[in-house]
């Protein structure tokens, strides 16, 4: 008899509580991943995420094979349908998995628990995706947190030192192995290959995650406090897609900072605070599961959004005429990732300058980000739009020009992603429409031809946004 380990978004063998428990049982282990293709699945992974998943599964399979095991891949309409079919083919006495706190993940786990109970198969659920349990970490009044700082204080007070679980060195194989699809048969890769930029920038899988962590601990961590807001620097950990797919656990990151040298203490706290934003995002999604589609603040349901497919398209393509926004949108398109500071500015531009519904932006990010994460993306967009928990106040409307001057003072980020402006002197780079004709000519830029004129005037857009926000406050 075997224990089946149902891998979900915990595509790692180190610090994986479900795998560890199966290993400790002494039984043979059947590692399984299910691609559910049912039409009714909301927020099905977007194109960039599917690209990532393909390679992450291959990497997990390779790690398992080094330990005498392998990853069985199956697909079907629902996870319970696939699992029940597989149980009919194998000798499985228990199914273990790590919990996902998102609506879809919880629904799947509930359906599987019920189906397996009827089939007389034991089920066990473990925790490995988050540092906290959203059902237990609550305010003194027993309600979910809606403000970050008290959540952060409670989170720190509640965490005890828990060592990272080592990867099992050898995994007992079932005999015989059930049939498996090969990873290509899951059809996760795009049919037209647009993923060269993703390949250049990322190595999906546990080894890629560890390499990023090492790089971060050995260099950027020291300067994290100052450099994390500079999009031209590799000043952040870039672990977000690895965390999303569970190729590294938040516990491993938290613990790794424990051993960081004393001179990096302030940066280590700042980094843990960012990890806590991830926890907060999942906490909110657990307690307010409708927020990917609905604003947390009901007043925003009657917000007068504009519908403009043409403006949306210009924003998506990085052709707004505001260099910092365009640089971010092009970084996203090419690499599948965008720096956090620029995410805030580009998202704010969409919802405040263009008055386009935050959900349009969230859907575009969902499809193009390699780290697309329902909790973090929902929190990020609702924060920017002002309709979420602890959100940016409605009157904070980022000025993309002054933000560019502040966070990209040498213009290195804009020059990299908007090369048509690369020869423009830095003092004109963030507002090329204000540059004298001679400077534009010398830089070889004809506005409206080589690079767009700004699609909206900042002052007009600001007044329009303030009026729209005022209309829902009445």
Which residue in 8, 63, 30 sits closest to 177, CA to CA? 30
Q: For residue 167, what are the CA distances in angstroms to 16, 69, 99, 100?
A: 8, 13, 19, 21
Residue 343 contacts ligand FAD per CB under 6 A = yes
Catalytic residues: 274, 277, 305, 340, 358, 381
- What gap in Å lies between CA 406 and CA 231, rounded to an integer? 11
CB of 134 to ligand FAD, least distance (A): 14
Residue 129 contacts ligand FAD per CB under 6 A = no
| Footprint (CB under 6 A) of ligand FAD, residues 363-392 | 365, 369, 371-373, 376-377, 379-381, 384
Inter-residue contact 124 to 153 (CB < 8 Å): no
Cβ atoms within 10 Å of 51's Cβ, excluding its own:
23
CB of 261 to ligand FAD, least distance (A): 18
| Footprint (CB under 6 A) of ligand FAD, residues 241-260 | 243-244
List alpha helices for 191-303, DSSP H: 196-201, 206-218, 220-227, 240-244, 250-258, 265-287
CB of 411 to ligand FAD, least distance (A): 21
Residue 282 contacts ligand FAD per CB under 6 A = no
CB of 336 to ligand FAD, least distance (A): 11
Instruction: Output 147 or 166, the one with its CB closest to ligand FAD.
Output: 147
Instruction: Output 270 or 308, the one with its CB closest to ligand FAD.
Output: 270
Inter-residue contact 5 to 128 (CB < 8 Å): no
**Contact string 62-91 vs ligand FAD (x = CB under 6 A):** ------------------------------
Collapsed DSSP state (helix, strand, coil) of residue 275: helix
CB of 217 to ligand FAD, least distance (A): 11
Residue 284 contacts ligand FAD per CB under 6 A = no
Inter-residue contact 250 to 243 (CB < 8 Å): yes
CB of 372 to ligand FAD, least distance (A): 5
The correct pick among 16, 63, 98, 236 for binding ligand FAD (CB under 6 A) is 236
Q: Judged by CB under 6 A, which stretch of 142-150, 238-246, 298-306, 395-403 contacts ligand FAD?
A: 238-246
Per-residue b or e along 456-470, where b marks 16 or more CB atoms closer than 10 Å to that residue's CB:
bebeebbebbeebbe
Please compute Rg for the chain using Cα positions. Answer: 24
Collapsed DSSP state (helix, strand, coil) of residue 342: helix
Instruction: Output 278 or 330, the one with its CB closest to ligand FAD.
Output: 278
The correct pick among 223, 274, 367, 405 for binding ligand FAD (CB under 6 A) is 274
Q: For residue 127, what are the CA distances in angstroms to 21, 101, 229?
A: 12, 10, 32
List alpha helices for 38-185, DSSP H: 47-66, 79-89, 103-118, 148-158
Q: Which two tokens stand for residue 458?
A: 């900042």
Residue 148 contacts ligand FAD per CB under 6 A = no
Please provide the size of the chain in residues.
474
The correct pick among 29, 86, 239, 443 for binding ligand FAD (CB under 6 A) is 239
The correct pick among 347, 350, 370, 387 for binding ligand FAD (CB under 6 A) is 347
Residue 429 contacts ligand FAD per CB under 6 A = no
Instruction: Output 57 or 372, the one with its CB closest to ligand FAD.
Output: 372
Residue 237 contacts ligand FAD per CB under 6 A = yes
DSSP state of 421: G
CB of 238 to ligand FAD, least distance (A): 4
CB of 236 to ligand FAD, least distance (A): 3
Residue 228 contacts ligand FAD per CB under 6 A = yes
Residue 281 contacts ligand FAD per CB under 6 A = yes
* Strands lying side by side in the sheet with 122-126: 72-76, 28-36, 2-7, 92-98, 122-126
Q: DSSP labels for 422-470? A: TTS-HHHHT-GGGS-HHHHHHTT--BTTTBPPPSS-HHHHHHHHHHHHH
The correct pick among 277, 300, 303, 349 for binding ligand FAD (CB under 6 A) is 277
- Number of residues near ligand FAD (by CB under 6 A): 28
Cβ atoms within 10 Å of 411's Cβ, excluding its own:
24
Residue 238 contacts ligand FAD per CB under 6 A = yes
Q: Give the residue closest to ligand FAD by C-beta.
A: 380
- Residue 207 neighbours by CB under 8 Å, 6+ apart: 59
**Footprint of ligand FAD (CB under 6 A):** 228, 236-240, 243-244, 274-275, 277-278, 281, 340, 343-344, 347, 365, 369, 371-373, 376-377, 379-381, 384
């Amino acid at each position: 008899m075997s224990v089946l380990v149902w891998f979900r978004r915990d595509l790692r063998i180190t610090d994986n509580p479900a795998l560890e428990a199966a290993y400790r049982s002494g039984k043979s282990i059947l590692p399984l991943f299910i691609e559910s293709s049912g039409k009714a699945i909301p927020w099905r992974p977007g194109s960039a995420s599917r690209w990532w998943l393909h390679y992450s599964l291959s990497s997990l399979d390779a790690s398992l094979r080094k330990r005498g095991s392998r990853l069985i891949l199956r697909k079907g309409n629902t996870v319970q349908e696939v699992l029940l079919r597989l149980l009919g083919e194998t000798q499985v006495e228990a199914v273990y998995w790590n919990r996902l706190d998102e609506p879809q993940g919880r629904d799947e786990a509930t359906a599987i628990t019920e189906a397996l109970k009827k089939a007389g198969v034991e089920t066990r659920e473990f925790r490995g995706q988050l540092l906290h349990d959203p059902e237990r970490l609550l305010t003194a009044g027993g309600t979910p947190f809606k403000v970050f700082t008290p959540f952060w204080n409670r989170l720190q007070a509640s965490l005890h030192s828990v060592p990272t679980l080592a990867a099992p060195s050898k995994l007992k194989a079932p005999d015989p192995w059930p049939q498996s699809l090969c990873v290509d048969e899951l059809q996760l890769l795009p049919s037209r290959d647009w993923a060269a930029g993703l390949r250049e920038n990322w190595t999906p899988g546990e080894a890629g995650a560890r390499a990023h962590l090492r790089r971060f601990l050995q260099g950027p961590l020291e300067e994290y406090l100052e450099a994390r807001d500079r999009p031209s620097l590799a000043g952040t950990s870039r672990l977000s897609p690895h965390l999303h797919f569970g190729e590294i656990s938040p516990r491993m990151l938290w613990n790794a900072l424990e051993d960081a040298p004393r001179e990096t203490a302030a940066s280590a706290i700042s980094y843990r605070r960012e990890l806590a934003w991830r926890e907060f995002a999942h906490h909110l999604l657990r307690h307010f599961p409708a927020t990917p589609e609905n604003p947390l603040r009901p007043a925003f349901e009657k917000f007068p959004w504009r519908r403009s497919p043409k403006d949306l398209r210009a924003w998506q393509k990085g052709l707004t005429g505001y260099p910092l926004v365009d640089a971010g949108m092009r970084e996203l398109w090419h690499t599948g990732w965008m720096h956090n500071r620029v995410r805030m500015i580009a998202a704010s531009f969409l919802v405040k300058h263009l008055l386009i519904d935050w959900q349009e932006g969230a859907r575009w990010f969902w499809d193009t980000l390699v780290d697309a994460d329902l909790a973090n993306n929902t929190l990020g967009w609702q924060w920017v739009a002002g309709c979420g928990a602890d959100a940016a106040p409605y009157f904070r409307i980022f000025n993309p020009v002054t933000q560019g001057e502040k966070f990209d003072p040498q213009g290195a980020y804009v020059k990299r992603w908007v090369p048509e402006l690369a020869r423009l002197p830095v003092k004109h780079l963030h507002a090329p429409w204000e540059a004298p004709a001679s400077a534009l000519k010398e830089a070889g830029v004809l506005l409206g031809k080589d690079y767009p004129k700004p699609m909206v005037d900042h002052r007009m857009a600001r007044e329009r946004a303030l009026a729209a926000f005022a209309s829902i406050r009445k």
